[in-house]
Amino acid sequence: MAGILEGIRVVSMGQVVVIPAASTMLADWGAEVIKLESLIGEQHRGMRQAQGIPTGEINWVMQVLNRNKKGLAINLKTPEGIEAVHKLIKTTDVFMYNYEYSSLKEFKLDYKTLSEVNPRIIHASVTGYGRKGPDKDERGYDPIQPGPSGSMCVHIGRHSTHELVCLYCPTQMLGRDCPVVKNV
């Protein structure tokens, strides 16, 4: 049985979870997904265990997040690497990524450039902090996101006196204060 996305080509350039998971769903639904990686591979390549996942020779994280995909290791720091990706983009329907937008411009993979290569391209991104604002170029991983939003904080106290207490402050990894507000 053919998938509902059969005939759709997706080039995926993402790491960690969000883009690998999203592009895996597209592959599961029949899209041809080509995962681009650097010559050394993405972060999960060396992972052999994760909480609740059996250890052993098989890298289960890579299996789960990259099933049904084709892979291409490419050096985007060379003109030949960029040219190879542009050649691939000519026959691609969707380009999806979760890298910083400034990196895409550097590697000539921004929307303006790719739409000149293929005017029909859909340029899909997931960013931690959006394309505008002071944190637009920051990396945004799932464990970091709840800190700036305050969702890692909980209300404690009785009656009308409440304190917000952060259980975990991942924003401190970015050199920022945890958004703790007392006696609100």
pLDDT at res. 156: 47
Does 135 reside within a domain? no
Residue labelled with tokens 């924003």: 171
Q: What is the CATH number of the domain that holds 58?
A: 3.40.50.10540
Strand, coil or helix: what is 168? Answer: coil
Does 21 reside within a domain? yes
Instruction: Give me the residues of the chain with pLDDT under 70, please.
Output: 1-2, 44-58, 140-184
Q: What one-character-per-residue DSSP string does 69-82 give?
A: EEEEE--TTSHHHH
In this structure, the answer to whether residues 86 and 31 fall within a common structural domain is yes
In this structure, the answer to whether residues 34 and 80 fall within a common structural domain is yes
Does 68 reside within a domain? yes
**How many domains is the chain built from?**
2
Range of the domain at 171: 142-184
Does 121 reside within a domain? yes
pLDDT at res. 184: 36
In this structure, the answer to whether residues 27 and 60 fall within a common structural domain is yes
pLDDT at res. 102: 76
pLDDT at res. 172: 44
pLDDT digits (tens, 9 = 90+) for 100-143: 777 888 899 999 999 999 999 999 988 777 777 887 777 766 66
In this structure, the answer to whether residues 105 and 152 fall within a common structural domain is no
In this structure, the answer to whether residues 154 and 105 fall within a common structural domain is no
